[in-house]
Structure formats: structure tokens, C-alpha cells
Amino acid sequence: MPRTLNVLEIQTQTADEFVDLTAKVKAVVQQSGVTAGTVVVFCPHTTAGITVQENTDPALKEDLFEALERMVPRDRPQKHGEGNAHAHMKAAMIGSSATVLVEGGKLLLGQWQAIYFVEFDGPRRRTVQVKVMAG
């Protein structure tokens, strides 16, 4: 039976990073054999998140990280012993998962959309769960 659950492995390179998962999520959907339903992409870490955002302009990602840093500066006093409370806050704002529709075996993403893992406390080895639900 084809698998509907896969775990992707990622090695982030810097403190803050967008990692485009779209091609890998498409491959999981195709291998699952599911032609209609949804796919859930879930981040099992608390200092990183998942978002669906613009797939073209690298400069936009710099703007997004700068906007997040103005809202949640990393050098604020904090009580959390590990000193990365800012990364937890940014992850909570971005969200821990994305749900995308599947139809005709394809992801129903908009023309300018990609599915991103967003690192806020790298570089680290990370995993991402991908589950295809038929329906």
C-alpha cells in the first residue's frame, strides 16, 4: 500500500532561513496515489514553523525576516533559559502547520505560492512531517 505519511529531513544553514518544501511535498502526494483531498505539512519543532508564501523574490524573504525582527527583537531581556524566546514567538506567529488542497493528484497552490519551512533558530537538523488525506 502506498504511504500517505512521510518525514522529510532538512539541514538549515543559517539562523533565519526559508526552505522551499514544495517539490518534496508534491512528490509525497504523487507517491501516495491520493488524487483528491488535502496534504498537511507539520513542523515538530517549536523554534521554526510552516508557511505558504511568495515563491519568487528572495528579497521579500529578507523583508519578512526584518519585519519579524522589528516586532520580536532577539536581543530583548527574557526569562527563558535558552535565550531563544524570540524564535518561539516568531514560530507561534507563523504557525506549526499548513494545509493545502489536492485535486487531480496535484497541489492546488496559487501561481505565486510555495510551501516553506521557516527556521528561526538555526542552523539545525530539522524534520518535517507530510501527511496526505484522501477525501
CB of 107 to a second copy, least distance (A): 10
Q: How far is the CB of 110 from a second copy (least distance, A)?
A: 3
33 contributes a contact to a second copy by CB under 8 A? no
From the centroid of its chain, how far is CA 51? 5
- Site residues for a second copy, 75-104, by CB under 8 A, read 76, 78-82, 85-86, 88-89, 91-101, 103
Helix or strand (DSSP H, E) at 50 = strand 48-54
**Are 26 and 132 within 8 A, CB to CB?**
no
Buried/exposed 54-79: b ≥16 CB within 10 Å, e otherwise: ebeeeeebeebbeebeeebebeeeee
Site residues (vs a second copy, CB under 8 A):
4-5, 36-38, 40, 42-46, 51-54, 57, 59-60, 62-64, 67-68, 71-72, 76, 78-82, 85-86, 88-89, 91-101, 103, 108-113, 129, 131-135
